[in-house]
Amino acid sequence: MSNTDHHQQQGRVTMKTSKHIKTLLLSACSISGLVLANPAAAEVVVADPDAQVDHSGTLSILTKFGSQQLSPYFVDIAEKYQELHPDVSIELIQETDDSVKDKTKTLVATNSLPDIFFTWTGTWGGNFIRGDRAVDLTPVVGPDSEWGKTLTPAALDAFVYNDRNFGVPLYLDAKFMGYNKKIFADVGVEVPESFEELLVACDSIHEAGITPVSLGNKESWPVVHYLGQLLVYNVPVATLEKDFDPSTAEYSDPGYVASLQQFDEFRQRCTDGAPNGTSYETAVQAFSDERSAMYYQEILEFDESATEETTMKPEDFGFFKLPVPEGAKGDPDAIEGAPEGYMVSAASDNIPLAIDFLKFVTSQENGKILSASPYGQPSAVIGGSDETTMNPNVVAGMADIDKASYLMPWLDTVNHPRVAAAWLSGLQSLTGGSMAPEEVMSAVRDAASAARQ
Amino acid sequence: METIRQTPDGAASCGAITDMQGPSPTRRLFDKLLSLRWVLLAVIIVSGFIYIPIVENFRVSMTNRDIFTGEVSNVGLTNYQRLLDDPVVWRALLNNTFYALISIFFQVFCAFVLAAIIEGLRNRRVRNFWRAVYFIPSAISTTVTGLLFYFIYQPDVGLMDAALTFLGLEQFSHPWLALESTAIFGIIAMSQWQGFGYSTLLFSIAIQKIPRELYDAATMDGAGPVRQLFSITFPMAREMSGLMIIVTITGAFQVFNEVMVMTSGGPSNSSQVLGTWFYEQAFILNDFGYGAAIAAIIFVVTMLTGIAQVWYTRKRRVQL
Amino acid sequence: MPVSAQQTAPTDIWSTLARAVLLGFLLCLGILVIYPLLWMALSGFKTNSQIFNAPFDLPTGFSWANYVAAWNQGVRSFLVSSIVVTASSAACTVLISAWTAYGLTRTRMPAKPIITAFILGGMMLSPTVALIPLVRMMQSIGLYNTHWALIILYTAFRIPFTTFLIRAYMLELPSDLDEAARMDGASDRQIFWRIMLPLCRPIIVSSVILHVLFAWNEYLFAMIFTSDLDVQTLPVGLTSLMAKHGTNYAQVFAAMTISALPIVILFFLMQRYFIRGLTEGIGK
């Protein structure tokens, strides 16, 4: 199936183009039309739980399932929904992980956000709340509502802004250390119980001439993910949440520097080569090719890092939560991860229909389809998984997420963009050995104070 | 293709009776204005897509705009103040300067010497052959060469390490793009490899323009090829070198692709140049005001080199 | 530096030696330039493990599998986009520029120096500086993420340079031909199409080739104004491919080779015009 199948909107755009050519010269001469007014209402649009659903008209949806593997999911659901409601026509705009941000920004800038759109949690989702572009869904999907009770509480909670529910979580994501059971057995190491044991295991694997953990940090977010998990182990959650907000940020807790020192030691003992010059893809490949024993990855990737086609076979794949350092003062039961989900556009002229469609997507049946292969995305619907059709590792990973006391959001999405940029670049320097932990923290503090103004 | 239209002057010249006094002044003015139709389209396009956006860029640099709320706030020169306190801007300027200096050495000085060597060969076919060979990389997109060298530089699996191992020089293998101290130089090295053939070609043409008699006379006086190079070729092709230096500086401050493709400005912003830092601020962090301020620096530099180029060619009357 | 015929024996040895050293140097440099490109093209015929383990070996066989895979993974659509954008913008640019150059050299236009400076001045401005406003403009007129955006921008940003080239050539042309035609009552339009364009053929060809060289390889605009795979041109498409299949070196190399080949072939076929354009273009 080619990518173009999922870009029906392209056709619309080019059809419009010919009309635009006529106005082009006019537009070129008058720039005044470029400062776009924002028609979004000053009032927050709140969903009405008693609204009648009018099953007619078009419904446009921006998804993040544009990749070959994932794109059929929404295509199939849209077909099923249209069978139930023949007067509804669904327009899908399917983007990939890389392109969805760009696409969303364009749609926002031109005030043409679709009725339903994909969003991450944290700052990215907050943008839509700030701009009053998302519908307040509390009456329909709040934690006490009928629909809200069918969704995993932690996932639902991640889309709460100003104590109101703005998003519907679709699936959960979290970070685990994947490992190669065969290599572990050959070298004679056990799954480590503590962070210190992990470092010792790395030494043994090194001695056997294998890279313990493959790390590709050219894109600079992979190390940020390591750090997020270490921070929640070393710094109390309340302190972290206070520091996420530039107006109250201090970054004075000693756990910050401790986490950075732990990572620095991990980098020296567990990784090889020059991580900053290695792409993320290359690191995944090294793990799949059995050239490394471990690789820190998202549960969404479990289905991809060991397949029948890779050198490493699915039965050799195991995973564990990044182990807790001795004497850490944070929350040892927390896990780094975040749900991803959808919001309804405040500018939509058929909000009840959009809500009805989202309810349909988050049914148990459709949740099970999403959790199973080939998608392997752990559904945020309670009971939205069927262990018989799923990769057992994904099942076990989901159980771990359910047990977690707190979901630590990704550092680069929860922080103000400028603070996130300081984390990204500071940690890359730490990884390259050109910055000390204290220096990284002072760069983060500076960015937070700059962001406050 | 066209129908014979009754143009005002055409009407007169078709008939046998010509107006001895020529067209009336109003008619002449009308003709003059009508001749503007030849340039109208270009003027509109150039204004609409180049000049107006550039003026607009300066307006944007005085504002901060939030695309999600649509709010635009006027912040005066705040974004320009931020430039001064931003260490990455200085780093980027430094990198652009490195780019310019190293490129001047390889793509002006070395390319000139190489062109002189090639032009000294007897056989015309052989001369053409070498010029063409060295030019090939310049015809290929920087994206392709950037990606290619990204693979060549890869530690352990890249061609560079393999070649060093092959030559028994493992100790010199070095993850160029992965280290903050060397990433930009890895990129610059690629650029030299790609660009020197282009300048060599231009210098060759300039050298061909030098009258042969000068060399013949020098040979009579017993000057060897090296002396001839210094006493005839260099002075005669000096205009070309001046021009090439200016063009090289302009290019060095507009660098974007190769950095984007090879390192995206990393690790830790150590290989950012003005173009990539502008891109990151404007299109990744949506900080349009600040991005526009960075673009303003690029504008000033390229404007200055542009003026220098015009002034230089006017003054020197470069004959090519 | 021609070597004179009156040479004595000892200098003969030295000059032969010097010549040998020079040739050796040129040869090494040539290898340094060509080898990486050759390696790229040949690696497209290898498997990944061959690239890693035996980088210098010739491929064992010429299996087109990687090239076919790359072609189907999107290179085909990138190539189509590149051809559409390059061809359309080349036609628009050269036509509008020739038109403008005619006006600037053959008509009695008022304020000619100012208009000339205005149009040619566009050459000195860096496209980066116009980007933010251009993105908003393209978004607001709905051309963002279409081929039209690139065609229009490539045309706009190349008109100054191309006009400069063609204008310089027209200034060199003697004006008796068009004067004579004008005496015979031909309109400006007829003179332009029937006399000037045929006379300017060499520079038109050079302009088209230089424009193709620019548009085929352009990356900044192409990256910012396109986001869908089916709109992306080759340079941007390659980086998308790289992000997706970055570890399948062989396939990425095949894709890179496919995208580099057309221009290299064009260069060899049209060397004369290439060189003319480049030399005219530098002497602003």
Least confident stretch, A28-37, A136-145, C161-170: A28-37
Asked whether residue A137 carries a pLDDT value surpassing 60, the answer given is yes
C73 burial type by CB count under 10 A (0-12 exposed, 13-18 middle, 19+ buried)? buried
How confident is the model at residue C163, as a pLDDT? 96
Average confidence score pLDDT of chain A: 88
Report d(CA A249, CA A239) in Å as an integer. Answer: 9
- Angle of helix C76-106 versus helix C249-269 axis, rounded to 10: 30
Contact (Cβ atoms closer than 8 angstroms) between residue C252 and residue C245: yes
Average confidence score pLDDT of chain B: 87
The alpha carbon of residue A38 and the mean position of all alpha carbons in its chain are separated, in whole angstroms, by 28
Question: For residue A273, which residues of chain B lie inside 8 Å, CB to CB?
Answer: 155-156, 175
Closest residue by Cα to residue A229 from A191, A203, A260 = A260
- Give the contacts of C14 (CB within 8 A, at least 6 positions apart): none
Asked whether the beta carbons of residue B141 and residue C109 sit closer than 8 angstroms, the reply is no
- Give the contacts of A299 (CB within 8 A, at least 6 positions apart): A172, A173, A174, A175, A176, A337, A378, A394, A397, A398, A401
How confident is the model at residue B118, as a pLDDT? 92
Amino acid at B268: S
Q: How far is C165 from chain A (nearest CA, A)?
A: 25
Q: Which chains touch B (3 or more CB pairs under 8 A)?
A: A, C
How confident is the model at residue A42, as a pLDDT? 54
Cross-chain CB nearest to C139 (options A3, A24, A106): A106
Report d(CA C279, CA A273) in Å as an integer. Answer: 46
Percent of chain A at pLDDT exceeding 90: 67
Contact (Cβ atoms closer than 8 angstroms) between residue A379 and residue A367: yes
Strands A292-298 and A168-180: antiparallel
Asked whether residue A305 carries a pLDDT value surpassing 50, the answer given is yes
Strand pairing partners for B72? B65
The reply to whether B132 touches chain C by the CB within 8 Å rule is: yes
Cross-chain CB nearest to A220 (options B48, B68, B266): B266
Contact (Cβ atoms closer than 8 angstroms) between residue B138 and residue B126: no
Per-residue confidence at A303, pLDDT binned at 50, 70, 90?
Answer: confident
Q: pTM of the predicted model, to two decimals? A: 0.88
- Angle of helix C249-269 versus helix C9-43 axis, rounded to 10: 130
* Alpha helix segments (H runs only) across C54-111: 65-70, 76-106
Interface test with A, best of B79, B81, B268 (most A CBs within 10 A): B268
Q: Which chains touch A (3 or more CB pairs under 8 A)?
A: B, C
Contact (Cβ atoms closer than 8 angstroms) between residue A191 and residue A294: no
Average pLDDT over residues A81-101: 91
Kindly report, residue by residue over A202-255, the tens digit of the pLDDT. Answer: 999 999 999 999 999 998 999 999 999 999 999 999 999 999 988 999 999 999
Kindly report, residue by residue over B216-231, the tens digit of the pLDDT. Answer: 888 888 888 788 888 8
Per-residue confidence at C4, pLDDT binned at 50, 70, 90?
Answer: very low
Closest residue by Cα to residue A202 from A336, A194, A304, A428 = A194
Strand pairing partners for B63? B74
How confident is the model at residue A214, as a pLDDT? 96
How confident is the model at residue B63, as a pLDDT? 94
Question: For residue B154, which residues of chain A lie inside 8 Å, CB to CB?
Answer: 277-278
Asked whether residue A413 carries a pLDDT value surpassing 80, the answer given is yes
- In whole angstroms, how far apart are CA A79 and each of A74, A75, A360? 8, 6, 12
Torsion-angle region of residue C60: left (phi > 0), alpha (psi -120 to 50) or beta? alpha
Cross-chain CB nearest to B35 (options C33, C107, C236): C107
How confident is the model at residue B259, as a pLDDT? 96
Report d(CA A251, CA A232) in Å as an integer. Answer: 13
Per-residue confidence at C283, pLDDT binned at 50, 70, 90?
Answer: low
Asked whether the beta carbons of residue C137 and residue A13 sit closer than 8 angstroms, the reply is no
Tokens of B258: 């190769």
Kindly report, residue by residue over C42-55, the tens digit of the pLDDT. Answer: 999 988 878 877 78
How confident is the model at residue A329, as a pLDDT? 94
Interface of B with C in 27-86 (CB under 8 A): 31-33, 35-39, 41-43, 45-46, 48-54, 56-57, 60
Asked whether the beta carbons of residue A37 and residue B70 sit closer than 8 angstroms, the reply is yes
Kindly report, residue by residue over B68-92, the tens digit of the pLDDT. Answer: 888 899 999 999 999 998 999 999 9
Q: Which chains touch C (3 or more CB pairs under 8 A)?
A: A, B
How confident is the model at residue C117, as a pLDDT? 94
Question: Any idea which residue has 């950037």 for tokens?
Answer: B146
The reply to whether C3 touches chain B by the CB within 8 Å rule is: yes
How confident is the model at residue A9, as a pLDDT? 35
Asked whether residue A11 carries a pLDDT value surpassing 50, the answer given is no
- Tell me which H or E stretch contains C130: none
Asked whether residue C3 carries a pLDDT value surpassing 80, the answer given is no
Interface test with B, best of C126, C141, C216, C238 (most B CBs within 10 A): C126
Asked whether residue C262 carries a pLDDT value surpassing 70, the answer given is yes
Nearest-5° angle of CA A383, CA A389, CA A393? 85
A and B: number of Cβ contacts within 8 A: 100
Q: How far is C204 from chain A (nearest CA, A)?
A: 26
Interface of C with B in 83-142 (CB under 8 A): 96-97, 99-100, 102-104, 107-110, 115, 118-119, 122-126, 128-135, 137
How confident is the model at residue B21, as a pLDDT? 54
Question: For residue B132, which residues of chain C lie inside 8 Å, CB to CB?
Answer: 267-268, 271
Asked whether residue B28 carries a pLDDT value surpassing 60, the answer given is yes
Per-residue confidence at C10, pLDDT binned at 50, 70, 90?
Answer: low
Per-residue confidence at C56, pLDDT binned at 50, 70, 90?
Answer: confident
Whether the link from the prior residue into C198 is cis, omega within 30° of 0, is: no
Contact (Cβ atoms closer than 8 angstroms) between residue C30 and residue B133: yes
Cross-chain CB nearest to B141 (options C135, C189, C235): C235
Asked whether residue B3 carries a pLDDT value surpassing 70, the answer given is no
- The count of other CB atoms within 10 Å of the CB of residue C165 is 26
Average pLDDT over residues C63-82: 92
How confident is the model at residue B23, as a pLDDT? 66
Contact (Cβ atoms closer than 8 angstroms) between residue A235 and residue A329: yes
The alpha carbon of residue C97 and the mean position of all alpha carbons in its chain are separated, in whole angstroms, by 17
Average pLDDT over residues C166-173: 92
How confident is the model at residue A39, as a pLDDT? 45
How confident is the model at residue C278, as a pLDDT? 81
Cross-chain CB nearest to A105 (options B52, B56, B67): B67
- The count of other CB atoms within 10 Å of the CB of residue C108 is 9
Least confident stretch, A130-144, A347-361, B25-39, C29-43: B25-39
Asked whether residue A13 carries a pLDDT value surpassing 50, the answer given is no
Please say whether the dihedral angle defined by the alpha carbons of residues A284, A288, A289 and A294, taken in this order, is positive or negative. Answer: positive
Kindly report, residue by residue over C85-131, the tens digit of the pLDDT. Answer: 999 999 999 999 999 999 999 988 888 999 999 999 998 899 999 99
Report d(CA A425, CA A439) in Å as an integer. Answer: 12
Asked whether the beta carbons of residue A434 and residue B56 sit closer than 8 angstroms, the reply is no
Asked whether the beta carbons of residue B298 and residue C109 sit closer than 8 angstroms, the reply is no
Asked whether residue A376 carries a pLDDT value surpassing 80, the answer given is yes
How confident is the model at residue B32, as a pLDDT? 82
Report d(CA A262, CA A274) in Å as an integer. Answer: 18
How confident is the model at residue C160, as a pLDDT? 96
Asked whether residue B17 carries a pLDDT value surpassing 70, the answer given is no
Asked whether the beta carbons of residue C22 and residue B157 sit closer than 8 angstroms, the reply is no
Q: How far is B27 from chain A (nearest CA, A)?
A: 29
Asked whether residue C69 carries a pLDDT value surpassing 60, the answer given is yes
How confident is the model at residue B316, as a pLDDT? 65
Report d(CA A302, CA A314) in Å as an integer. Answer: 9
